[in-house]
Structure formats: structure tokens, C-alpha cells
């Protein structure tokens, strides 16, 4: 029995070490290449076994954000901060990636207006912080990754897309900025941004930023 426990611990340590290597390799080239993660994992909520070759979007609290079944999910070692727990990972490098980012001042604008400015025929992601007019109760754990999270009147977007924003389209921002990231393949034409960016930059109050 002792031998078996030792073998399990060695296997777990090796698995997590491989995950760390994949994470470090991604961080060295993030934004330059398309990456996929050959992934064997367990869903921390449903205990469902996951096997996929998932596109990597970014990182979240020491783990990856990947697209699984069309939805962004976090993969990592924490059951409280990540959606999926890895049992096997291999980082697969793809073709060159060209990211074009536009900053949009959201003062007085709704999320419906924001999406009207996005060329949704391209691969895109929305990230930023907004102070909205009304407080929205967060229905999920704040520590667990979600593309849209609330803390009182603050909406935090992290690799969100139109599908994740449907419930909030009519919310208007009192302050804040959103970055529209277009992810383009080699030779793919850049979209034309429909909105004229304002010169003055809106910065959320330091007190609100500390409470995110």
C-alpha cells in the first residue's frame, strides 16, 4: 500500500510539473502564435471527464483559459479558481497569430452598442472593467473563472464574447474601458473599427479597483 501511495504521489507530481512546463512555454510566446492544449481533465463541478484539443485564449490564476465546447473555461490546479482539473496536458504550437487591439471608452454606452461596433465575423474577445448604473448580484463564485463577473457595480470582462453578454445588453456604463481584441491568422485582413475612440482616458477610481 505504501508503495502504491508513493507511486500515485510521484505520478501526480509529474503531471503537475508537465502542466507547469506547458504554462511557462505558453507565457514565453503568448500573443505570437495560436496554441492548442491537448487536454485530459475533470470538470470540478460535474466530475465529467474531458478530452479535447482546446484552443488556448490566455491565463487565469496560474492556469490556462481554453475554449471547450465553444465556452471559455479555466484549467488549473485549484478547485475553487479553475473550472477544469488537468490530468494530462500537452501544449501544441500553431501558426503565427496577429492580435489587433482597440480601446473603447464606454462612458454612457451600453453593451448592446459595444457589440454593434464589433466585427463578429472575426475571432474576437472583449476584456475590461466597467462601472455600470445598477448593482448586479454575481450568481457564481467570484474566485472561479467566468468571462463576465460582477463585484457590486463593477463588471469585469475577461475574454468575453457576444454569447456571454446577452443577459446584460441593456446595461449602460457610467465609466470604464473595454479592449476589443481581434485574433487574426496570417494574411487575414484587419477589421475596420466602427467607433471613434475618445482622446480622454477614463480610469476607474483606485478605491473601486482595489475591491475587484
**Could you say which DSSP state residue 110 is in?**
B
Quick one: pLDDT at residue 198? Answer: 41
Q: Is 208 exposed, middle or buried (0-12, 13-18, 19+ CB in 10 A)?
A: middle
User: Do 71 and 143 have their domain in common?
Assistant: no
pLDDT given at position 196? 45
Domain stops at, among 36, 63, 96: 96
Q: What pLDDT is stored for residue 204 in this prediction?
A: 38
Give the domain CATH number at 10: 2.30.30.690
Both 106 and 201 in one domain: the answer is yes
Same domain, 166 and 190: yes
What are the cell numbers at 55? Answer: 484552443
Mean pLDDT by 10 residues, the chain (212 residues): 44 65 93 95 94 96 95 93 93 94 94 95 96 71 82 92 94 94 91 55 39 37
pLDDT of residue 128: 97
Burial class (CB in 10 A: 0-12, 13-18, 19+), 39: buried
**Among candidate residues 48, 81, 96, the one where a domain is terminated:** 96
Same domain as 36, residue 12: yes
Identify the residue whose cell numbers are 465546447.
69
The single-letter DSSP state of residue 102 is E
Number of domains within the chain: 2
Q: Are 178 and 106 in contact (CB under 8 A)?
A: yes
Q: Is 106 exposed, middle or buried (0-12, 13-18, 19+ CB in 10 A)?
A: buried
Torsions phi, psi of 30, nearest 5?
Answer: -55, 135
Comparing CA positions, the residue from 198, 24, 37, 210 lying closest to residue 107 is 198
Same domain, 149 and 78: no
Of 96, 131, 166, which marks where a domain is finished? 96
Same domain (yes/no): 152, 128: yes
The β-bridge partners of 84 are 43, 75
Asked if residue 78 and residue 25 are part of one domain, the reply reads yes
Closest residue by Cα to residue 145 from 61, 56, 51: 61
pLDDT of residue 203: 40
Task: Print the domain residue range for 143.
Answer: 98-210
CA distance 48 to 36: 21
Same domain, 11 and 87: yes
User: Three-state DSSP class for 130?
Assistant: strand
- DSSP for 169-204, please give it: TT-BEEEEEEEEEEEEETTPPPPPP-SPPPSSPP--
80 & 117 share domain: no
Amino acid at each position: 500500500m505504501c508503495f502504491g501511495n508513493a507511486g500515485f504521489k510521484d505520478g501526480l507530481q509529474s503531471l503537475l510539473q508537465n502542466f507547469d512546463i506547458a504554462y511557462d512555454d505558453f507565457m514565453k510566446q503568448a500573443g505570437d502564435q495560436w496554441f492548442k492544449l491537448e487536454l485530459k481533465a475533470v470538470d470540478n463541478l460535474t466530475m465529467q471527464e474531458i478530452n479535447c484539443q482546446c484552443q488556448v485564449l490566455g491565463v487565469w490564476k496560474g492556469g490556462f483559459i481554453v475554449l471547450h465546447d465553444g465556452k471559455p473555461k479555466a484549467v488549473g490546479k485549484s478547485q475553487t479558481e479553475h473550472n477544469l482539473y488537468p490530468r494530462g496536458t500537452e501544449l501544441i504550437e500553431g501558426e503565427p497569430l496577429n492580435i489587433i487591439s482597440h480601446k473603447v471608452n464606454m462612458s454612457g454606452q451600453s453593451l448592446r452598442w459595444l457589440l454593434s461596433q464589433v466585427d463578429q465575423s472575426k475571432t474576437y474577445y472583449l476584456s475590461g472593467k466597467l462601472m455600470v448604473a445598477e448593482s448586479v448580484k454575481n450568481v457564481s463564485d467570484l474566485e472561479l473563472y467566468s468571462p463576465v463577473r460582477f463585484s457590486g457595480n463593477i463588471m469585469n470582462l475577461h475574454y468575453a464574447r457576444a454569447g456571454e453578454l446577452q443577459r446584460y445588453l441593456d446595461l449602460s456604463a457610467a465609466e470604464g474601458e473595454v479592449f476589443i481584441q481581434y485574433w487574426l491568422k496570417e494574411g487575414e485582413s484587419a477589421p475596420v473599427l466602427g467607433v471613434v475612440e475618445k482622446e480622454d482616458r477614463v480610469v476607474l477610481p483606485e478605491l473601486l479597483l482595489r475591491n475587484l
